[in-house]
Amino acid sequence: MERWEKYLQNTKEKNYNIEHLDSVRQNNSKLIYESVMRSLAILDSKKVDKNVYYYVSETLKWMDVSKTGSKEDRRRWKKLGYDLYIHNIASSMIYKEEVKNYDEVVFILIKTHGLIGQYIRGETNLTSNRELYGLIEKKFISAKELEEVLLTLNECIIQSVDEKVYERIHEEIKETVSFIVHNEFDKSYSLVERIRRLNGSSISKEEEEELLTLFKDNRIQNKILVLLHQVDLWYYEVALNNYSMLEQIKILLICANELKDETNLTFEKIMKSMYIDFDNKKVINLFKKRIIEEYLSTLDLEDLLNNHIINSPHISFKLSKRNHTLLFDFKFSVPATKLIDFCMVASKGTSLYKKSIYILYDLFGFRKDDYDRFYNEIEYLNIMNSSLHHKSKLLEYIVGENVLDVGPGGGAFLNLIEDNYPSLNVYGIDISSNVIEELNKKKIKENRHWNLVKGDALNLRNYFKKGSLDTIIFSSIIHELYSYIEYEGKKFNIHTVIKALQEAYEILPVGGRILIRDGIKTEPEDQERIIEFKNVEDINILKRYCKDFKGREITYQTIDQNKVKMLVNDAMEFLYTYTWGEDAYPLEVQEQFGYLTPTEYTNLIQENLPNSHIIRCTPFLQEGYEKNLLNKIVLFDSNMNIVKLPNSTCIIVIEKQQS
C-alpha cells in the first residue's frame, strides 16, 4: 500500500465537506478515501496523454492527505508547522516531505487544487492561481499541457462529488483555466458579484438592493474589498448562506477588524457545528441560528466600523489564528450550550418542548410566540404541500390582478397560482421566519416571480394599501390563527377569526374576494360516534390527547376495552391528529381544526363583513383521512351502524359588494 493510500485508509478524522452530504451521519472517516478513488476511476475512464495522466493522478492521490492520517500523523504534521485547516497547502507540504525527488508540477497542482472552483464561487481572487502560470514561466510545463491538466483535474475532482455541478460550471472552468494559462490575472468579479457567488449565485433582487445600499457607505465597501483581496475564504457558502445579507456583512466586518497578515479565512468550525440531522436529513441547527441572529442584530454597523463590539454573556464571536489562517466561530456559554442541547432532545415532545423553547426565548430575549415551530416546521411544510390537490379548487374563484396567499406554507400553492395565472401579481405573507427563509430559497432555486412579506395576518393593513389586493386566500390557515395567536388575551378565540377576515375585507375593493378553505365542525353537533380501535393499545393515544389538547375539553365514554363513545366533533378533532401519526402529534395536538360549523361560519361572515355576499359555502370530507384511518379504526353511529367520516373541510367564497 502506497503512503498516500495508507493515510487515507487509516484516518480517524471526519473532515469531509458537510455541504456535499445529505445527512451529517454520512460523515465518516472513509469518505475522503472513497472520493479520491472515485476521482481516480473517472480519470481512468478518460483518454489523456501519459504526462497529463501522471500529473493528474499524483495530484488526486495526495491532494487531501492533510484531512486524513492517524492521530500520530496529524500531531507530527502540526509539529512541522503544516496548517491543517488549509488542506491544499498542507497536503502539498506532506507530498513534498513524503516523496523523494518530488515533482514540482505535482507540488504546485496540489497546492493550488480547488482554487479554480473557489474563484468561481467567489471565495478567492484569480491571482491565487498565479503559481500555476509560474510553471509555464519556469518551463516545467507548456501552456497547452497545463491547460489539459487543469481541465482534466477539475473534471475529476468535481464529478467525483457531483456530476450536476460539473455540468453547470464546466464552461466557467474552461474560461478560468484560459485566464490562468494566458496570464490574464487582471480579470475579477465586482464586489456585489463576489457576494452573490459566495451565496451560491442565489441572492434575490431584494438582497442585491440591500447590498448596494450597504455599499453606499464607502467605509463598509472598502473594508470588505480589502478583506476579500487579502484572503482566500473557506467553507463560506455552507456556513453562512443561511444568514441575511446584513448579517453576512457584519460577520465579514468583524473578520476585517482582526485581519493582519493572514492570507486565509476559514468558517470550517461554524460549518461543522451548525448542522444536525433531523429525520435523517441534514438541517441547520435553528436553535443556534436564532441565537446568532439575535446577537448580530445587537451589533451596530457604526460600532463594527470602529471595532467597538460588546459581546453578550451567552454568545460571542471567536477569532483564532493558525499560521497565516484566521479561524472564525461563534462561542456559546455553558448554560446556553446545555439549553440548546436540551431543546434538541425535547424537540419531539409536546409541553416539555414548549417549555424548553420558552426558556430559550427568555435567555436570549426572543419574542414569545408559537409561530416558529423550529424542526416541526419541516413536517408542517410537507403536510401543507401534500394538500395541494384540494387547494386547487380555489383557483377558479380568483379575481383581479393582485392575489395574496395568507400563510403560504411550503409555497406549492403560490406556484400553482403563478402557473395558472402567469400575468397576476402574487404575494405570500407569513409571520414565521422559518417559512419565509425556506420560501426565499425555493423562489430563487425555481426562478419564481411571486413576492413574500414577513408579517402578521391580523394586521394586513400595515403591509398592503386599501384596494391594492383583489383576492385574498386563507387556505388551511385560519384554524392556525385561531389556535396559535393570542388575541385579546387568549388563544382559541373566535374573535381572532373575525379580526383576520375584517382585515382582509377592509383591503379589498368592491368586487374583491376572500377565499377560504379550512376545517369545520360537522352539524348537527349533538350526534354521537363510536370509535373502535383496531389496536387496543391506541386507546392510550386518545387518553393522552384529551390531556394534551388545549383547544377545548374533549371527552369520551369507554364502552369496551377498545371502544369509546364521543360527540361527533370531539371524535373528529381527535381523529384529525390521530390520522397523521406520532411524528406529527406534537404539532397537531396544538391546533383545533374544526372551530365553526358551516352555518356558524355563514352567520359570522354576514354579521361582521358588511355588504358581503357568500358565493359558495361547500363542506366536504378531505381526501386522505379515510385512507389513513382504514387500518386504525372502525367508526360507528350510536346504534353501532358503520358510518363514513363526516365532512371535515369547507370552501367558502366571499365577495365584497357595493354598499
What is the pLDDT at residue 361? 66
Q: Pick the residue with more confidence: 626 or 397?
A: 397
State pLDDT tens for residues 136-160.
999 999 999 999 999 999 999 999 9
Q: Is 83 helix (H, G, I), strand (E, B) or coil?
A: coil
Lowest mean pLDDT among 134-148, 245-259, 581-595: 581-595
Band of residue 642 on the pLDDT scale cut at 50, 70, 90: very high
Band of residue 380 on the pLDDT scale cut at 50, 70, 90: very low
State pLDDT tens for residues 10-65.
887 777 677 766 666 666 668 889 999 999 999 999 999 999 999 999 999 999 99
CB atoms within 10 A of CB 4: 22
Q: Whole-angstrom Cα distance, residue 551 to residue 354?
A: 16
Q: Where are the alpha helices (DSSP H) in 347-432?
A: 351-364, 376-386, 388-391, 412-420
DSSP 406: E
State pLDDT tens for residues 506-518.
999 999 999 999 9
Q: Whole-angstrom Cα distance, residue 405 to residue 428?
A: 5
Indicate the residue type of 185.
F
What is the pLDDT at residue 29? 66
Q: Where are the alpha helices (DSSP H) in 162-235?
A: 163-181, 191-198, 205-214, 218-230
What is the pLDDT at residue 352? 60
Q: Whole-angstrom Cα distance, residue 206 to residue 220?
A: 19
Q: Whole-angstrom Cα distance, residue 366 to residue 294?
A: 8
Indicate the residue type of 178.
S
What is the pLDDT at residue 56? 97
What phi and psi, each to the nearest 5 degrees, are found at residue 170?
A: -65, -30
Q: Pick the residue with more confidence: 581 or 480?
A: 480
Enter the C-alpha cell of residue 532.
373502535
* pTM (two decimals): 0.70
State pLDDT tens for residues 288-303.
888 898 899 899 999 9
Is residue 180 scored above 50 in pLDDT? Answer: yes
Tell me if 507 sits within 8 A of 469, measured CB to CB.
Answer: yes
State pLDDT tens for residues 186-196.
988 999 999 99
Q: What is the mean pLDDT of residues 629-649?
A: 94
In 3D, which of 415, 520, 514, 429 has the Cα closest to residue 474?
Answer: 514
- In sequence order, the 6+-apart residues with CB closer than 8 A to the CB of 61 are 2, 4, 5, 36, 40
Lowest mean pLDDT among 262-271, 439-448, 495-504, 633-642: 439-448
Is residue 178 scored above 60 in pLDDT? Answer: yes
Band of residue 389 on the pLDDT scale cut at 50, 70, 90: low
Enter the C-alpha cell of residue 503.
382585515
Q: Is 261 helix (H, G, I), strand (E, B) or coil?
A: coil
- Say if strands 451-454 and 471-475 run parallel, antiparallel, or are unpaired: unpaired
Is residue 597 scored above 80 in pLDDT? Answer: yes
Q: Whole-angstrom Cα distance, residue 248 to residue 606?
A: 50
Domains and their CATH numbers in the chain: 3-187 (no CATH), 189-332 (no CATH), 376-519 (3.40.50.150)
What is the pLDDT at residue 369? 47
CB atoms within 10 A of CB 477: 22
Band of residue 378 on the pLDDT scale cut at 50, 70, 90: very low
